[in-house]
Amino acid sequence: MREGWKEVVLGEVCDVINGFAFKSKDFVKEGIPLVKIKELKDNRLNISDCDYLPKYFVVDQKYHINKGDVVIALTGSHITLPSSAVGRVAKSYLEETLLLNQRVGKFKVFEDKCDLDYLYFNLTSEYFFNSVGLLAKGAANQANISAGDVKSIKINLPPLETQKKIASILSGYDDLIENNLKRIKLLEEMAQQTYEEWFVRMRFPGHESATINSETGLPEGWEKVKLGDVLTLNYGKALKQENRIAGNYNVYGSSGVVGTHNNFLVEGPSLIVGRKGNVGSVYYEPNPFYPIDTVYYVTSEYSLFYLYYTIKSLSFINNDAAVPGLNRDAAYFKEINLPNIDLINEFQDLCSSNYQIIFNLQNQNQRLREARDILLPRLMMGMIEV
C-alpha cells in the first residue's frame, strides 16, 4: 500500500443515518419528494415516480437529502439483481431537498477524515457491492443489511488531499454523464411536448385551415379507433435470472431494463409495455432485445413513436388485486384518436431525429461508465499515481 494510505472500517470515517418510517396516509400528489429504495437507480436518485409529503411537513434535518448527498438501499434482492440489490448506492444531483424514508441510509462523513465524493466512488465499486452481499441477511429475493454492518466494511483511505484528487478525476466522468442525461431529458421533453401540441391540443402543422368533422369532432382524415386496431400486444417469455448469460441484448421487465442476455427474442425497434407489476409502463427499444413474461412487446404497421406517446397518455386499470396486471383485451378496447398517416409520419421523422441524438448520447454514457469503472479500482487501490 502507498505511503500515507491505510485500511479503515467505514465507521471510522462516516456515520450511516437510517431513514424515517413516514406513514402512507400522509402522502400527497405534490410536495417534498420522498426517497424510498426504488428511487435508487444507476447510482443516481430518480424521483420521476416517487411519493410526496406536504411542504409544510416538519421533519428533522437529519432526514433531509440535499444535492451531493449519498444514500444506500438497506433492503433489496440479494446481489443477484444489481438494479434492485441491497447495498446499491445513489448520489443526489437534484437541486431540491428530498426526504429519507426507512430502509434507505444516508452517509455523513467526518470531514476531517474523509471526502464524501471519494467515499461515494468507493461505494460504487464491485468490492463494496460484494462486501454487502456477504453481510446481507435474508432470502435471495429479499435481503437486508444494517447500518452497523455497512460501517464494518473496510476501505483503503489515502490522505485527505489525495482523496480529493481521486474524486476529482472520477467526477469528471460523472459530470459528463450527468450533462448527457440532462440533454437526453430535454430531447425527450421536446418530443413529448410536440405530441401533446399536435395530437392533444390539435395544434398540428396546418391546423388553422383544417376542416372539423361535425360527427366525430376531429379534423377530417382523423378517426376514433380502438388500440387493438393499430397494434398487437405480444407476450414476453420467461427468462430466470440464473438462466441469463450477460451479453449485448437488453432484458426488459415491467420496470425497464433488468439485465442483459447473450441472445434476443425480438428484433428491434419495438415498444415494451408493462403487463405485471408496473402496469402500463412503456419503453422504446431500437435494438434486438429480450422481453420477459411480465411484459408485452408491440408489433404494428404504424409509427412506433406515435404509439409510444399514445400509450403513455392512456390510463390502464389493474385487473389483479394481489399482483397488478394488464389484461390484453381491456387494453385493446381503449379508444384513441388516429390522425391521418401523413401527420403521423411527420411526427415519426421529427422523433427519429431527436432519438438518434438520444441514442448517441446513451452510447457515449456507456463508454464513459466503462472507462470510469476500469479506472476506479486502480485509483482506489493506489495503483495509479494521482
- The domain made up of 7-157 has a fold known as Adenine-n6-DNA-methyltransferase TaqI; Chain A, domain 2 (3.90.220)
Q: For 180-344, CATH number?
A: 3.90.220.20
- Give the CA distances from residue 293 to residues 254, 265, 307, 331, in Å, rounded to whole numbers and listed in that order: 9, 12, 21, 17
Residue environment code for 77-93, b if the CB has 16+ CB neighbours within 10 A, otherwise e: bbbebebbbbbbbbbbb
pLDDT confidence tier of residue 81, bands split at 50, 70 and 90: low
Predicted model pTM: 0.83
Grid cell of 351 as nine digits: 422523433
Do the domains at 7-157 and 180-344 have one common CATH topology? yes
Mean per-residue pLDDT for 159-176? 96
Nearest to 325 by CA among 295, 292, 299, 290: 295
Grid cell of 347 as nine digits: 411526427
> 265-285 pLDDT, tens per residue?
999 899 999 999 888 899 999
Whole-number average pLDDT of the chain? 92
Residue environment code for 342-354, b if the CB has 16+ CB neighbours within 10 A, otherwise e: ebbebbeebbeeb
pLDDT confidence tier of residue 323, bands split at 50, 70 and 90: low
pLDDT confidence tier of residue 324, bands split at 50, 70 and 90: low
Q: Where are the domains of the chain?
A: 7-157, 180-344
> 375-384 pLDDT, tens per residue?
999 999 888 8
Q: What's the pLDDT score for residue 320?
A: 54
- Measured between alpha carbons, how far is 268 from 285 in angstroms, rounded to an integer? 6
Q: Which residues contact 142 (CB under 8 A, 6 or more apart)?
A: 75, 76, 77, 78
